[in-house]
Amino acid sequence: MTEQLRLMAVHAHPDDESSKGAATMAKYVSEGVDVLVVTCTGGERGSILNPKLQGDAYIEEHIHEVRAREMAEAREILGVKQEWLGFVDSGLPEGDPLPPLPEGCFALQDVEEAAERLVRSIRAFRPHVVTTYDENGGYPHPDHIMTHRITMAAFDAAGDADRYPDAGEPWQPLKLYYNQGFNRPRTLALHEAMLERGLESPYGEWLKRWEEFQRPERTLTTYVPCAEFFEVRDKALIAHATQIDPDGGWFKVPMELQKEVWPTEEYELAKSLVETSLPEDDLFAGIRDN
């Protein structure tokens, strides 16, 4: 193509872009693809998950600003552009019964109204490919599920001149993918490789929960080779210092083992307006030659 390829990744919170598809984005940036991360909320209600930072009064009081600075650092590491949609984090409700969601939060917005902000972003950036979460949000966080809903609505509406007529010139993305990096085949392969080498696997409990909940397997359609960017991915993730313990389970699998056993990031093709042959190894398959 003579036109520059463009990829938009729609995420719920700052840090999601670094834990889901980050190596893929860094790979495409290195190839000259224009990549934009759209972050729906500011992560204002996110817990401080790094034990080394828990109890820090400044961080607790200024969590919104801290997470914005973390996002800026991760953005630079990945080499992507990034913009905020400006919705307020819904938090992750806990308890039985679950408490109501906070008034005015992202997950309580009207889908059609909230989708307009994303339609504006799509029409301005003009992506060929969009990535987001599946209908379960990847995991059932209300903001992840809402991210799925507005992305599906915006993908269909962005190219329709009759919808959101004040949101910019129509633009129709050609493919939509769900991030499926946390899939059972990958987890099992890494788990077994760790045990074979006499190492303690961080995935034992994950696999038990998969068995307990009997979640159906997702269809993995697209395997993007990006092992050479795993270090970049991890560096971007560690930049989200409030959310990630650098000594935690995320980083227990040796890098060389990851590259050898599972050198790809996986996606599920949800919508395509171009012909493609499955499985794919490129999010732009069917687009590059059109």
Does 284 map to a domain?
no
Cα torsion angle, 251, 37, 215, 97, sign: positive
Q: Rounded distance, CA 288 to CA 280, Å?
A: 13
| Integer CA distances (angstroms), 11 to 148, 163, 286, in order | 9, 23, 24
Report how many domains make up the chain. Answer: 2
16 annotated binding-site participant? yes
Residue 236 sits in a domain whose CATH number is 3.40.50.10320
Burial, 120: exposed, middle or buried (Cβ in 10 Å; 0-12, 13-18, 19+)? middle
Q: Rounded distance, CA 78 to CA 42, Å?
A: 19
Same domain, 205 and 80: no
Same domain, 65 and 205: no
Same domain, 210 and 250: no
148 annotated binding-site participant? no
62 annotated binding-site participant? no
Same domain, 23 and 134: yes
Whether 67 and 242 have beta carbons less than 8 Å apart is answered as yes
Same domain, 198 and 156: no
Same domain, 157 and 204: no
- In sequence order, the β-bridge partners of residue 272 are 175
Same domain, 93 and 136: yes
Same domain, 254 and 156: yes
Q: Rounded distance, CA 69 to CA 43, Å?
A: 12
Whether 172 and 8 have beta carbons less than 8 Å apart is answered as no
Does 278 map to a domain?
no
Give the pLDDT confidence of 259-277 residue by residue, as tens digits: 999 999 999 999 999 999 9
Does 44 map to a domain?
yes
Q: Rounded distance, CA 220 to CA 218, Å?
A: 6
Same domain, 211 and 166: no
Does 279 map to a domain?
no
| Alpha helices by DSSP H, 79-181 | 111-125, 142-157
Model confidence, pTM: 0.95
Q: Rounded distance, CA 202 to CA 58, Å?
A: 32
Does 165 map to a domain?
yes
Tokens standing for 79? 């080499």
Collect the ranges in the chain with pLDDT lower than 50.
1
Same domain, 105 and 195: no
Same domain, 190 and 241: no
Same domain, 125 and 197: no
Place of tokens 């700052």: 14
Give the pLDDT confidence of 146-204 residue by residue, as tens digits: 999 999 999 999 999 999 999 999 999 999 999 999 999 999 999 999 999 999 999 99
Tokens standing for 6? 């463009």
Whether 160 and 173 have beta carbons less than 8 Å apart is answered as no
109 CB contacts (<8 Å, ≥6 apart)? 87, 146
* Cα Rg of the chain, angstroms: 19
User: Cα-flanking dihedrals φ and ψ of residue 144, to 5°?
Assistant: -70, -40
- In sequence order, the β-bridge partners of residue 8 are 36, 130
Residue ranges making up the domain that contains 237:
6-182+219-272
